[in-house]
Amino acid sequence: MKSLRNFRFISRLDIKDEYLIKSINFEGLKKVGLAKDYALDYYNNNIDELFYIDGVSTLFNKKFIKSFLRMTCEKIRIPVTVGGGIKTINQAKKILKSGADKIAINTAAVKNPEIIKKLSELIGSQSVVSYIEAKKNNVNQTWDVYVNNGKENTGINIMNWIEVVQKKGAGELLITSVDNEGTEKGFDYELYEKIANIVEIPVIANGGCGKICDVIKISENVKVDGVAISSALHYNKIKIDDLKNSFKKKPFNIRY
């Protein structure tokens, strides 16, 4: 008998200081509320994982607020991934000691792919997430890798980059569509379809989720291992219980 594929529901929380913030296409950041309150609410309502991203730390060379991470992780018993401005192995170690389970790397990996290899050797590939911001290149009809919170085009083709991070030891991909981020118009299904053809590790889709039907559509039509949702959860357009209940008769292994 064929085993069911696992499917995860992740809350993405973009943070600045102690605040949860949100944008559209990574522009026009707005405060939503205290990040710890939202994190605890999602945990209490049975979200599978949390993904903290401190995007502005890369742009403005800020340090991730480790006291905030410790405070929230003490009350949370689900996997927590942290990304944003992590440039060194020592920074990653400190974040893990503060309570995180996984480290997400984007800009630093583009500058030096060996950091993924070193991290995977040190903490295990299952704890290393390659966080990729992808934007459609309408000239050649593919996607380029962006860094610095969707601000800077590296010129790297995403398919080539995925092959690199897989070889270096990343255990998971969390891929954000810059074009769809914050729009709530649905996922970039074409992007994830192409990625599914070359990927060998779990893929989490992020960017554009506005309704439960968006999650159902991508789960049924594209081989991804989960979704990361932000504004639709933050603004109460999707309730976690409703989302999970909609999957009860689907051919997936869901944590209830």
Of these residues, 14, 48, 49, 225, which one is catalytic? Answer: 14
Phi/psi of residue 250, each to 5°?
-90, 155
88: tokens are 């060194």
Q: Name the residue with tokens 């809350």.
A: 11
Of these residues, 48, 133, 184, 188, which one is catalytic? Answer: 133
Is 172 designated active site? Answer: no
Contacts 24+ apart (CB under 8 A), 143-152: 143/191, 145/110, 146/178, 147/58, 147/106, 147/107, 147/110, 148/58, 148/59, 148/107, 149/26, 149/55, 149/56, 149/58, 149/59, 150/25, 150/26, 150/176, 150/178, 150/181, 151/26, 151/59
What Å distances lie between residue 29 and 15, 19, 36, 56, 232, CA to CA?
10, 11, 18, 10, 16
Is 133 designated active site? Answer: yes
148: tokens are 């610095």
Q: Which residues are marked as active site?
A: 14, 133
